[in-house]
């Protein structure tokens, strides 16, 4: 897609759609991480922690890995947070 060919309205609409998809994918990643943790799959792969797995295998920076793990655990404790992440009212950095 040549972005320069999009008119302003379509460009902004496309951006909004991609941001929505990004939030959805982020939530999917958090759910997947939760299941990996529940099954201790990181340990079965030879890693001492989910954090180590995220950094070494998934190639997240240490900060990004910690934000995702913390967010995943918060979702476990407070499922209502999911709607806030999905709506954009709450981000992984907040």
CA gap 30, 73 in Å, rounded: 9
Q: What is the pLDDT of residues 7-49, one digit of tens each?
A: 999 999 999 999 999 999 999 999 999 999 999 999 999 999 9
Would you state the pLDDT for residue 50?
98
Q: What is the pLDDT of residues 62-89, one digit of tens each?
A: 999 999 999 999 998 998 888 888 888 8
CA gap 10, 6 in Å, rounded: 6
CA gap 36, 30 in Å, rounded: 10
**High-pLDDT (> 70) share of the chain, %:** 99
Range 26-29, long-range pairs (CB < 8 A, 24+ positions):
26/85, 26/92, 27/82, 27/85, 27/86, 29/68
């Amino acid at each position: 897609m040549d972005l320069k060919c999009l008119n302003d309205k379509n460009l902004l609409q496309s951006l909004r759609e991609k941001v929505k998809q990004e939030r959805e994918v982020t939530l999917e990643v958090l759910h997947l991480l939760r299941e990996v943790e529940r099954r201790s799959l990181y340990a079965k792969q030879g890693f001492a922690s989910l954090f180590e797995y995220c950094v070494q295998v998934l190639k997240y920076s240490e900060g990004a890995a910690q934000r995702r793990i913390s967010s995943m655990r918060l979702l476990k404790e407070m499922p209502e947070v999911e709607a806030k992440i999905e709506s954009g009212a709450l981000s992984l950095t907040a």
